[in-house]
Amino acid sequence: MQVREATPADESAIRSIAKRSMEASYSLSPGAIEEAITRWYSSETFTEKLEDDDVLFLVVDDGVEVVGFSESEIVDEYGDINWLHVDPMHRGESIGGDLFRETRRALRDRGAETIRGRVLSDNTEGNKFYERQGLVKSGEGRVELDGPTFVENVYTDAETEDLEAITTPDGDEVYIDHLDTDRGSKGAFHTVYTDEERENKWGFYCGNCESFITSMDTMGRMECDGCGNQRKPTRWDAAYM
d(CA 34, CA 18): 10
Per-residue confidence band for 160, with pLDDT thresholds at 50, 70 and 90 = low
pLDDT digits (tens, 9 = 90+) for 97-117: 999 999 999 999 999 999 999
More confident residue, 150 or 66: 66
pLDDT digits (tens, 9 = 90+) for 28-81: 788 888 888 888 899 999 999 999 999 999 999 999 999 999 999 998 888 999
Residue 177 scores a pLDDT above 50: yes
More confident residue, 241 or 74: 74
> 71-80, 158-167, 223-232: which has the minimum mean pLDDT?
158-167
pTM score, whole prediction? 0.74
> 28-37, 128-137, 149-158, 213-222: which has the minimum mean pLDDT?
213-222
d(CA 145, CA 26): 11
d(CA 147, CA 238): 15
Four-residue CA torsion sign, 136, 69, 32, 49: positive
> 52-56, 76-80, 156-160, 170-174: which has the minimum mean pLDDT?
156-160
Domain spanning 2-116, CATH architecture: 3-Layer(aba) Sandwich (3.40)
Average pLDDT of the residues in 135-158: 81
Domain boundaries, the chain: 2-116, 163-240
3-state helix, strand, coil in the chain (%, to 5): 30, 35, 35
Please choose, from the candidates 39, 114, 126, 55, the residue with its C-alpha nearest in 3D space to the C-alpha of residue 84: 126
Contacts of 145 (CB under 8 A, 6+ apart): 28, 32, 236, 240
Q: What's the pLDDT at 162?
A: 74
Quickly count helices (H) and strands (E) in the chain. 6, 12
d(CA 205, CA 224): 9
Q: What's the pLDDT at 55?
A: 94
